[in-house]
Structure 1
Amino acid sequence: MYQRDRAAWLMRPNDSLVDAVAENLLDRLEVGKDLNKTIETSFIVGDEEFLPVKESSVDLIISSLGLHWTNDLPGAMIQSRLALKPDGLFLAAILGGETLRELRIACTVAQMEREGGISPRLSPLAQVRDAGNLLTRAGFNLPGVDVDEYTVRYDSALELIEHLRSMGETNALLQRRNILKRETALATAAVYESMFAAEDGTIPATFQVIFMTGWKEHHSQQKAKSRGSATISFKDIQKQFSEGS
């Protein structure tokens, strides 16, 4: 199991850039709250692994591109399920394993060439096949998974790397190598551009987003039929489709 550097994302007062961004966002939300005074609203800065939410107290939980930073992703999802009321909905979007595949390839080639070995420069991410298992393991009913890929174009690989640093989306593993040598960074940019650059000189960066939905158990939800209770076979269904065509 990978252990991430909690200091890179944990929201503690006056302790990180993340906290400053969160506090700034809360200030904006507080201003916008006055636009609709008919809905009681409150905002909390918290830790995904220790949700400051009472059990069975909310109808909906939405997580937008944040859960991939948790050390214990199944545990965070279990806490989300516990916080939901019966028939409550969990919606989450996380970055998938194909995110920045071009940069991963370029980094690997450059490090092998310049340093004789590799050290991850980006955090590990969940694969699409893992998403359904995560929902089931967390105890959600009617799990659903979808995936989209987005391509963002940059003028150079160095611009992309700088953007990722500004976003805080580089490697947060405790076992990471903290320093990226200048010659390795330049080699990465050169490999990236030689392998993936378009005719106009721009380079693509792939971002894979995995969408997950799950419901907290409720008696009104659909349930799978017991094994052996089927009244029609797949052969009959295939025959009907064949006759229809």
Structure 2
Amino acid sequence: MQIFDRLSVRRNRDRAAAIFSNHDFMVSEVADRLADRLDDVTRRFPVALDLGCHGGEIAAALQGRGGIEHLIQCDLSPKMASRAAANGHPTLAVDEEWLPFAPASFDLVLSCLSLHLVNDLPGTLLQIRRILKPGGLLLAALPGAGTLAELRQSLIEAELAAEGGASPRVAPFADIKTLGALLPRAGFIQPVADAETISVRYADPIRLLADLRGMGEANAQTERRRGLSRRATLFGAVEGYRRTFAGDDGRVPATLELITLTGWAPDP
């Protein structure tokens, strides 16, 4: 199934690359949380891959953790990869659905908020397990099913009211049970999936939409409605967001359900 238009995903990230530093706070926060997990692992990982590197936030967060001597960065977007390359690590443009690396190339694969937009996540996890050395580790952070629930509800209600029907506007996110079950299917051992919730409060829902676009997270679903949204739909969604979710201070929440996947490549 082609849920996502991968060419659109790449174009969204290409467009975002020039302004990404104005909107990268969530990627940086999740990268820090992902890197912190290496503090609990005594094993060293000399060769590591940052899969879906965005602007190089994982590299900035590592700060010598994990005994990493060589970090390879890659991103679907050539322009985003060029941005990340400024930190001096080898960087290339790579589609997460078609990994061009030899088997047993890496001791560690890290992925920060990138794998949720692949069409064949089981296949991608299988490829990741293949490129890991025996005893290698996967650490991946993805948005879970509760992510952007407020925005999803507001857009659906506004489009139904203004246009008499609803189209897919927020990406579908998998739940923790589904994601956790994919790890053993891909051949990982000691699989763990855990979830936490991060809530960001905005003075205006329009700023949330700007952040999503600036992060390269504009709608890339294959079945999305083409063309610009009607003004009535957009303004209805913004007003509905405020009316339903605003707190006493007038600010509205945007929820990220962060699911972290941990799995080891088998080692005899």
TM-score, normalization by structure 1:
0.79
Q: Give the Cα–Cα distance (whole angstroms) in 2 for the partners of residues 52 and 135 of structure 1.
A: 21
Q: Which residue does 2:9 correspond to in 1?
A: 9
Structure 2 counterpart of 1:95, one-letter code:
P
Which residues in structure 2 correspond to 1:76-115 (within 5 Å)?
Answer: 76-115=124-163
**Which of residues 87, 111, 124 is equivalent to 1:63?**
111
Matched, 1:213 2:265: no
Q: Which residue does 2:87 correspond to in 1?
A: 29
| Structure 2 contact 81–92 (Cα < 8 Å) conserved | no
Residues 93-145 of structure 1 show CA distances to partners (whole Å, capped at 9, x for unaligned) of 01111100001111111111111111111111111111111112111111001
Q: Give the Cα–Cα distance (whole angstroms) in 1 for the partners of residues 201 and 119 of structure 2.
A: 30
**Which of residues 237, 260, 267 is equivalent to 1:188?**
237
Superposed displacement of residue 10, structure 1:
3.6
Q: Give the Cα–Cα distance (whole angstroms) in 2 for the partners of residues 29 and 129 of structure 1.
A: 36
Computed over aligned residues only, the root mean square deviation of the Cα atoms, in angstroms, reads: 1.8
Percent identity between matched residues is 40
**Which of residues 72, 86, 94 is equivalent to 1:46?**
94
The DSSP-based 3-state class of the residue aligned with 1:147 is strand
Superposed displacement of residue 16, structure 1:
8.9
72 and 204 in structure 1: CA distance in 2 versus 1, 3 angstrom threshold: same
Superposed displacement of residue 149, structure 1:
0.7
Q: Give the Cα–Cα distance (whole angstroms) in 2 for the partners of residues 16 and 145 of structure 1.
A: 30
| Structure 2 contact 199–253 (Cα < 8 Å) conserved | yes
Q: Give the Cα–Cα distance (whole angstroms) in 2 for the partners of residues 105 and 144 of structure 1.
A: 30
Superposed displacement of residue 157, structure 1:
1.2
Structure 2 counterpart of 1:68, one-letter code:
H
Q: Give the Cα–Cα distance (whole angstroms) in 1 for the partners of residues 147 and 257 of structure 2.
A: 5
| Structure 2 contact 84–91 (Cα < 8 Å) conserved | no
114 and 53 in structure 1: CA distance in 2 versus 1, 3 angstrom threshold: same
Q: Give the Cα–Cα distance (whole angstroms) in 1 for the partners of residues 219 and 194 of structure 2.
A: 25
The DSSP-based 3-state class of the residue aligned with 2:110 is strand
Q: Which moved more, 1:159-168 or 1:97-106?
A: 159-168
The DSSP-based 3-state class of the residue aligned with 2:3 is coil
| Structure 2 contact 81–91 (Cα < 8 Å) conserved | no
Superposed displacement of residue 55, structure 1:
0.2
Which residues in structure 2 correspond to 1:105-144 (within 5 Å)?
Answer: 105-144=153-192
Q: Which residue does 2:70 correspond to in 1?
A: none
Q: Give the Cα–Cα distance (whole angstroms) in 1 for the partners of residues 194 and 106 of structure 2.
A: 24
Structure 1: 5+ residue runs without aligned partners? 34-41, 220-245
Q: Give the Cα–Cα distance (whole angstroms) in 1 for the partners of residues 111 and 213 of structure 2.
A: 22
Q: Which has the larger radius of gyration?
A: 1
Superposed displacement of residue 2, structure 1:
4.4
Matched, 1:197 2:256: no
| Structure 1 contact 81–138 (Cα < 8 Å) conserved | yes
Q: Give the Cα–Cα distance (whole angstroms) in 2 for the partners of residues 168 and 21 of structure 1.
A: 10
Q: Give the Cα–Cα distance (whole angstroms) in 1 for the partners of residues 16 and 202 of structure 2.
A: 28
Q: Give the Cα–Cα distance (whole angstroms) in 1 for the partners of residues 140 and 182 of structure 2.
A: 12
Q: Give the Cα–Cα distance (whole angstroms) in 1 for the partners of residues 143 and 197 of structure 2.
A: 10
Q: Give the Cα–Cα distance (whole angstroms) in 2 for the partners of residues 150 and 15 of structure 1.
A: 26
Superposed displacement of residue 9, structure 1:
2.9
